[in-house]
Amino acid sequence: MGGRAFLRFAAALGFQALQLGPQGETTPYDPSPYNATLFSRSTVSVSAGRLVEEGLLPGEALAAAIASRPDGALLRASHAYAHPAMARLLAAAWQEHRGDRELQGRIRQFVTRHGEWIERAAPPGTGREEIEAYRFGQLLAHEQHDAFRAEARGLGLRLSGDLQIGIPQRDLATYRSLLLSTLAMGAPPSRTNPEGQAWGYGVLDPDLYGTPAAPGAALELVRARARKLLREFDGIRVDHPHGLIDPWVYPASDPDPARAVQRGARLFSSPEHGELSRWAIPRPEQIDAGEPAHADGRVRELTPAQVERYAILFDALVDAAREAGSGVDELIPEVLSTQPYPVRRVLERHGLGRFRVTQKAAMHDPGDVYRAENARREDWIMVGTHDTEPIWRAAERWVGTGVAPARAAYLAGRLVSDERERPQWAERTAASPLALARAELANLFAGPAANVMIFFPDLLGLREVYNRPGTVSAENWSLRVPPDFAAQYPRAAREGRALHLPAALATAIRARGKSFAEAQRGLLEQLERHA
């Protein structure tokens, strides 16, 4: 119910698409969607209210579940409560209606349509009864998602899915034969995480890639994942595309993964590395040996044929997007501060951009990748992501730590066309966290990136953090859109405590100078009437 209300809200504001996270099954103790199952949908997201409407669940069962809901669960999801509560409701619905012939027919049709994955995706070690109940839950999760997507399309909204890079623990038994037993995948040291991140994810065996004409089992897995996502969504956010193009790997058996990941290497760019040399794509003379193993510029040059070898898994996503009629530009590669040369070349051959997370921009470095003016048209620009603090909280930190004046001066140069007005504007903005946050949001629309992404806390003016990377806790991945968001947002936006889109757009138009603003006078007047 709330999800459909948010669709209508987003469409009314003028958004064109909604980006959802990975939709797989998670666990009560680790609710990270990036550790979710690759094909099975999360049954925790099933609307029990819709089941009551359809006669699959008695209203008393839902009322009892609601009565036992922990305090505060409407603001922060209680995964420890939600998983067993939904499991009980689905079990009750299944036991009551398992003999229904119409329902059994729907399940058979569903299994036929999803035969390429549903048999192997069932929880391991389950009997026939459990498998039938699993299929029932997956049917409901997929049917409700299809209805949600249809409603989104009716409102003019596209839905974008998320292809996570990791294979979760629950799926390891199914896909272990496709993985290298000696290596694990992580994130290399970077400016954001100087120590790197030891994800512990499996690494697809390059010997099982095959070719596009004769695909091996590893390539077929990537194709199957892309096909399923693009049947259910209009586009895909590609989580850490490095993992598809040139994974950062380290010894899986090292007792100190944190140390091991710092000493890792790129799977296809390490001809000097004994174990990895067999898969190296560049020749030694194409590598700057003086650069660290994780440096973006370590690989200096590549031939088109070498780029094609790096691109074999990523190209499977491109091919799937074309086959689905979604278009290559509906692929959204999550490239952050690190973009090694091979990754850049693969994305450029398809005209795809990267992420520009402006709250991370370095004020002292004009060439910093996160600065808005360094974006290209094909890039995606945003003030924050699910892994950062909301811009409203970040702005408070900037004011409190004394870095706000530098931020405000930079934003004045971006948003105030008259140089004479910039000093006073910057002084006012630096003194107010709300003004600073609003300026950061307006900066997104001042160009040149054509794609703007807004995370829901930044839109709604929330201050709580959604995810703290590398942390497993009850708080992580639990922040929810408040139940009264539709009533609270208009006032918060008018008071400057949430993103006011007309005001932000008007600021961005005026930032381009008087002649541009004059040319856009009609649009500007409309925006300012709503500001």
H/E/C letters for each residue in 111-139? HHHCHHHHHHHCCCCCCHHHHHHHHHHHH
Q: Quick one: pLDDT at residue 116? A: 85
Cα gap 24→168, rounded to integer Å: 10
Q: What is the largest CA-CA distance in the chain?
A: 77
Q: In what order do the strands lie in the sheet with 331-333?
A: 17-19, 158-163, 235-238, 331-333
Cα gap 150→435, rounded to integer Å: 38
Cα gap 496→442, rounded to integer Å: 12
Cα gap 531→527, rounded to integer Å: 6
**CA torsion through residues 91, 95, 97, 102, sign:** positive
SS3 category, 287 = strand
Number of helices (H), then strands (E), belonging to the chain: the values are 23, 11
Cα gap 313→62, rounded to integer Å: 44
Rounded to 10°, the helix 501-511/433-443 angle is 70
Alpha helices of 349-421 — where are they, by DSSP H? 391-401, 404-415
Instruction: Please choose, from the candidates 151, 22, 15, 158, the residue with its C-alpha nearest in 3D space to the C-alpha of residue 456.
Output: 15
Cα gap 268→189, rounded to integer Å: 17
Instruction: Pull the structure tokens for residue 415.
Output: 């948003």
Cα gap 57→170, rounded to integer Å: 29
From first to last of its 531 residues, what are the pLDDT tens digits of the chain? 788 999 999 999 999 999 999 999 999 989 999 999 999 999 999 999 999 999 999 999 999 999 999 999 999 999 999 999 999 999 999 999 999 999 999 999 999 999 889 988 887 767 888 999 999 999 999 999 999 999 999 999 999 999 999 998 889 889 999 999 999 999 999 888 889 999 999 999 999 999 999 999 999 999 999 999 999 999 999 999 999 999 999 999 999 999 999 999 999 999 999 899 999 999 999 999 999 999 999 999 999 999 999 999 999 999 999 999 988 999 999 999 999 999 999 999 999 999 999 999 999 999 999 999 999 999 999 999 999 999 999 999 999 999 999 999 999 999 999 999 999 999 999 999 999 999 999 999 998 999 999 999 999 999 999 999 888 888 899 999 999 999 999 999 999 999 999 999 999 999 999 999 999 999 999 998 887
Q: Quick one: pLDDT at residue 117? A: 93
Cα gap 285→359, rounded to integer Å: 38
SS3 category, 160 = strand
Cα gap 28→38, rounded to integer Å: 17
Q: Quick one: pLDDT at residue 192? A: 80
Q: Which amino acid is at 415?
A: L
Task: Report the predicted TM-score, pTM, of the whole model to 2 decimal places.
Answer: 0.94
Instruction: Please choose, from the candidates 386, 378, 370, the residue with its C-alpha nearest in 3D space to the C-alpha of residue 443.
Output: 370
Half-sphere exposure at residue 279, Cβ-oriented, CA atoms within 13 angstroms? 19
CB-CB contact of 465 with 389 (8 Å): yes
Instruction: Please choose, from the candidates 399, 335, 401, the residue with its C-alpha nearest in 3D space to the C-alpha of residue 370.
Output: 335
SS3 category, 341 = helix
CB-CB contact of 166 with 35 (8 Å): yes
Q: Quick one: pLDDT at residue 380? A: 98
CB-CB contact of 230 with 324 (8 Å): yes
Q: Which residues contact 420 (CB under 8 A, 6 or more apart)?
A: none
Q: Is the peptide bond before 33 cis (omega within 30 degrees of 0)?
A: no
Q: Quick one: pLDDT at residue 122? A: 82
Q: Any idea what DSSP says for residue 34? A: G
Measure CA 10 to chain center. Answer: 18
